[in-house]
Chains A and B, each alone.
Chain A
Amino acid sequence: MGSKMNDTKKTVSKKGSSRTDAWVMLLAVVGVAVLLNALLTQTSLRIDLTDQQVHTLSGASKKAANDLDGVVITAYISKKLPETIPLPNGDKMPLKGIERAFRDKLEEYVAASGGKVKLVYADNGSPGVGTVEEQAEAAKLETFSSKEYQVAGEELKFAHYAMGATFHYKTVHEVFGKALQPGYYEFEITKILLRLQEKYAAAQIQKEPLSQGKAVFDAVKACNDLIQKKGKVDEGAKDDGGGLSLKTGADPSQKRVDAMLAAKDDIAKVCGDVKLKIAAATSLKGKSQFGDQLLDAAGQFDQVIGELGDVLSGKAEQFKDKPKQLAAVMGQAMGMLADLTKEVDRSHTNLSDSPGRKVVGFLCGNGEFCPFAESEPFVQEQMAMMVAQNNPMMKQIVQAATQIAQGIDETNGRIGDNLFTKRGYSIRRVDADSPIPSEISSLIIYAPRTALSEYTRYQLDQFLLSGRPVVMLAQEWDVALMNMAPGDELGNDMRMDYTALSATGSNLQDVLKNYGVELKRDLTLDTKHVQTVRVMKLVQKGGLQFQSQQDFPYALIPVATHFDQSHPLSKSLDNLALPYATSVEPSAQLAQDKRFEVAKIIQSSESSLSHAAPLPVLPPAVQEVALQAKPNGPLTLALYVRGPFKSAFAGKEPPARPDKKTAEDPMHPKEKPSENAQELAKRSFKGEGVGKLLVVASNLGIEGLDRGQVLKGFDLSKMAQFSAEIIKDYQLWNANFQNWQIRIGQVSHLLGGNLQFLTNILDWSTSHEALVEIRSKGDTRRPMQQVDDGQAKRLRLVTLLGGPLLLIGAGLLRWRLRRARNLALKV
Chain B
Amino acid sequence: MNAVLTLARREMAATFDSPIAYIAGSVFLVVTGLLFFFGYDGSADFFAAREATLRPLFEYAPWTLAVILPAVTMRLVAEEKKSGTLELLVTLPVSDLQIVLGKLLGAFGFLAVTLAVTAIFPIMIATVGHPDLGAVIGGYVGLLLIGTAFLALGLLTSTWTHNQIIAFIVGLLLCVFFWTATDALLKLAFDRPPLALELLSFRTQFEAFAKGVVDIRNVVYFLSVTAVAVVASTYSLQSRHWK
Q: Are A43 and B132 in contact, CB atoms less than 8 angstroms apart?
A: no
Give complex CA distance A49, B217 in Å: 16
Q: Are A806 and B238 in contact (CB under 8 A)?
A: no
List B109-155 residues whose CB lies under 8 Å from chain A.
113-114, 117-118, 120-121, 124-125, 127-135, 137-138
Q: Bound complex: CA of A466 vs CA of B34, how far in Å? A: 60
Q: CB distance A50 to B213 under 8 Å?
A: yes
Residue of A56, A79, A782, A802 near B120 (CB, 8 A) is: A802
| Given A36-B220, A784-B50, A799-B120: A46 and B214 interface contact (C-beta under 8 Å) | yes
Interface residues on B, range: 35 or more
Residues of A within 8 A of B114 (CB): 807
Instruction: Output the residue of A25, A799, A806 with the most chain B CB within 10 A.
Output: A799
Q: Are A782 and B130 in contact (CB under 8 A)?
A: yes
Contacts of B80 in A (CB 8 A): none
User: Quick check: B212 and A54 within 8 Å, CB to CB?
Assistant: yes
Contact: A803 with B16, CB < 8 Å? Answer: no
> With an 8 A cutoff between CB atoms, is B204 at the interface?
yes
Residue-wise interface mask of A (765-806) relative to B, using a CB-CB cutoff of 8 A (1 in contact, 0 not): 000000000000000111111110001100110111011101
Q: How far does the Cβ of A258 sit from chain B's closest Cβ, in whole Å?
A: 47
Q: How many residues of A contact B (CB 8 A)?
A: 56
Tell yes or no: B224 within 8 A of A by CB.
yes
Quick check: A807 and B212 within 8 Å, CB to CB? no
How far is A43 from B216 in the complex, measured between Cα atoms in Å?
Answer: 9
Closest to A30 in B: B228
On whether A782 and B212 interact (CB within 8 A), knowing A26-B232, A49-B137, A804-B26, the answer reads no
User: Which residues of B, 208-223, contact A by the 8 Å Cβ criterion?
Assistant: 208, 211-217, 220-221
Smallest CB–CB gap between A572 and chain B, Å? 13
Give, as a whole number of angstroms, the nearest-CB distance from A165 to chain B.
17
Query: In the complex, A97 Cα to B205 Cα: how many Å?
Result: 12
Q: In this complex, what residue of A is CB-closest to B113?
A: A807
Please measure, in the bound complex, the distance between the C-alpha atom of A79 and the C-alpha atom of B134, giving whole angstroms. Answer: 34
Contacts of A628 in B (CB 8 A): none
Closest CB in chain A relative to B5 CB, distance in Å: 19
Q: Which of A14-22, A511-519, A690-698 contacts B (4 or more CB under 8 A)?
A: A14-22
Contacts of B238 in A (CB 8 A): 18, 22
- In this assembly, does A328 line the interface, its C-beta being within 8 Å of a C-beta of chain B? no
* 0/1 interface trace, chain A 23-63, chain B, CB 8 Å (1 if under): 10110011001101110110111111111001110000000
B56 within 8 A of A: no
Using Cβ atoms and an 8 Å threshold, which residues of chain B touch A80? 191-192
A787–B125 Cα gap in the complex (Å)?
11
Least Cβ–Cβ distance between B196 and chain A, in angstroms: 8
Chain B residues with Cβ below 8 Å from A242 are none
Of B33, B118, B212, the residue contacting A50 (CB under 8 A) is: B212
- Over the window 34-63 of chain B, the binary record of Cβ atoms lying under 8 Å from chain A Cβ atoms (1 yes, 0 no) is 101100000000010011110000000000
Q: How far is the CA of A47 from the CA of B211 in the complex (A)?
A: 11
Q: Does A660 contact B (CB under 8 A)?
A: no
Question: Which of A41, A780, A796, A806 meets B199, CB within 8 Å?
Answer: A41
Say yes or no: is A814 at the interface (Cβ < 8 Å to chain B).
Answer: yes
Asked if A49 meets B135 with Cβ closer than 8 Å, knowing A40-B216, A804-B29, the reply is yes
Report how many A-B pairs have Cβ atoms within 8 Å. 173
Q: Is the CB of B192 within 8 A of A79?
A: yes
Report A778 CB to chain B, min CB distance, Å: 13
Q: Are B25 and A51 in contact (CB under 8 A)?
A: no
- Choose from B129, B192, B231, B241 the contact partner of A782 (Cβ within 8 Å): B129
* CA–CA, A799 and B38, complex, Å: 13
The reply to whether B117 and A40 form a contact with Cβ atoms under 8 Å apart is no
Partner of B37, one of A15, A51, A800: A800
- The residues of B that contact A804 with a CB separation of less than 8 Å are 22, 25-26, 29-30
> Chain B nearest CB: distance from A84 CB in Å?
13
Residue B177 lies at the interface, judged by CB distance under 8 Å to chain A: no
- With A40-B217, A782-B129, A785-B128 known to touch, is A808 a contact of B26 (CB < 8 Å)? yes
Q: Which residue of B lies closest to A794 (CB)?
A: B124
Q: Are A795 and B128 in contact (CB under 8 A)?
A: yes
Determine which of A36, A46, A781 lies in contact with B51 in the assembled complex, contact meaning CB atoms within 8 Å: A781
Interface pair B235/A25, CB less than 8 Å apart: yes
Interface of A is mostly: helix
Please report the C-alpha to C-alpha distance between residue A36 and residue B220 in the assembled complex, in whole angstroms.
8
Which residue of B has the minimal Cβ distance to A21?
B235
The CA of A41 and the CA of B228, in the complex, are separated in Å by 19
- Tell me the smallest distance from the CB of A116 to a CB of chain B, in Å: 24
Interface flags, B78-114, vs A, CB<8A=1, else 0:
0000000000000000000000000000000000011
Checking B29, B134, B195 against A803 with a beta-carbon cut-off of 8 angstroms, the contacting residue is B29
Q: Which residue of A lies closest to B195 (CB)?
A: A41
Residue contact B117 to A50, C-beta cutoff 8 Å: no
Q: Evaluate contact between A55 and B129: CB separation under 8 angstroms.
A: no
- Tell me, rounded to whole Å, the shortest Cβ–Cβ distance linking B109 to chain A: 13
Does A392 sit within 8 A of B, measured CB to CB? no
Q: Which residues of A are found within 8 Å of B216, using beta-carbon distances?
A: 40, 43, 45-46
A205 to B228, CA, bound (A): 62
A811 at the interface (CB under 8 A from B): yes
**Residue from A50, A795, A807 within 8 A of B132 (CB atoms):** A50
- Confirm or deny: A100 has a beta carbon within 8 angstroms of a beta carbon on chain B: yes
Are A800 and B33 neighbours in the complex by a CB distance under 8 Å?
yes
Min CB gap B127→A, angstroms? 8
- Is the CB–CB distance between A787 and B21 below 8 Å? no
Return the contact of A46 from the options B29, B113, B208 (Cβ within 8 A): B208
Q: A18-B238, A29-B231, A800-B34 are in contact. Are A43 and B217 (CB under 8 A)?
A: yes
Partner of A79, one of B118, B191, B212: B191
Enumerate chain A residues within 8 angstroms of B199, measured Cβ to Cβ. Answer: 37, 41
Give complex CA distance A798, B129 in Å: 17
A18 to B96 Cα, complex, angstroms: 14
CA distance A38 to B195 in the complex (A): 11
A799–B124 contact, CB under 8 A?
A: yes
* CB-based contact A37/B33 at 8 Å: no
B120, A784: Cβ atoms under 8 Å? Answer: no
Residues on the A chain within 8 Å of B217, using CB: 37, 40-41, 43, 46
Q: How far is the CA of A733 from the CA of B125 in the complex (A)?
A: 47
B241 and A29 contact, CB distance less than 8 A:
no
B239 located at the interface, meaning its Cβ lies under 8 Å from any Cβ of chain A in the complex: yes
| B130 and A55 within 8 A (CB) | no
How far apart sit A322 and B22, CA to CA, in the bound complex (Å)? 94
Q: Is A792 a contact of B47 with CB atoms below 8 Å?
A: yes
Q: How far is the CA of A55 from the CA of B232 in the complex (A)?
A: 36
User: B22 — which chain A residues lie within 8 A by C-beta?
Assistant: 804, 807-808, 811
Contact for B213 among A48, A782, A807, CB less than 8 A: A48
How many Å from the CB of B32 to the closest CB on chain A?
Answer: 9
Q: Indicate the member of A23, A25, A48, A807 with the most B CB atoms within 10 Å.
A: A807
Q: Contacts A784-B52, A785-B128 hold; do A15 and B47 have CB atoms under 8 A apart? A: no
Residues of B within 8 A of A33 (CB): 224-225, 227-228
Could you tell me which A residues sit within 8 Å of B by CB distance? 15, 18-19, 22-23, 25-26, 29-30, 33-34, 36-38, 40-41, 43-51, 54-56, 79-80, 97, 100, 574, 780-787, 791-792, 795-796, 798-800, 802-804, 806-808, 811, 814
20 contacts between A and B (CB under 8 A): A15-B241, A34-B224, A37-B220, A38-B196, A44-B215, A45-B216, A46-B216, A49-B134, A49-B213, A50-B132, A54-B212, A100-B207, A782-B129, A784-B51, A799-B33, A799-B121, A799-B124, A803-B29, A803-B33, A807-B29
Q: Which residues of B contact A (CB under 8 A)?
A: 16, 21-22, 25-26, 29-30, 33-34, 36-37, 47, 50-53, 113-114, 117-118, 120-121, 124-125, 127-135, 137-138, 191-192, 195-196, 198-199, 204, 207-208, 211-217, 220-221, 224-225, 227-228, 231-232, 235, 238-239, 241-242
Q: Apart from A800-B34, A803-B33, A807-B117, what are 15 other A-B pairs with CB-CB below 8 Å?
A: A19-B239, A19-B242, A22-B239, A29-B228, A43-B216, A46-B213, A46-B216, A50-B212, A51-B132, A781-B51, A782-B51, A782-B53, A786-B50, A800-B37, A803-B120
Listed from nearest, the 10 A-B pairs whose CB atoms lie closest are: A784-B129, A49-B134, A803-B29, A33-B224, A804-B26, A46-B215, A50-B212, A782-B52, A49-B138, A22-B235
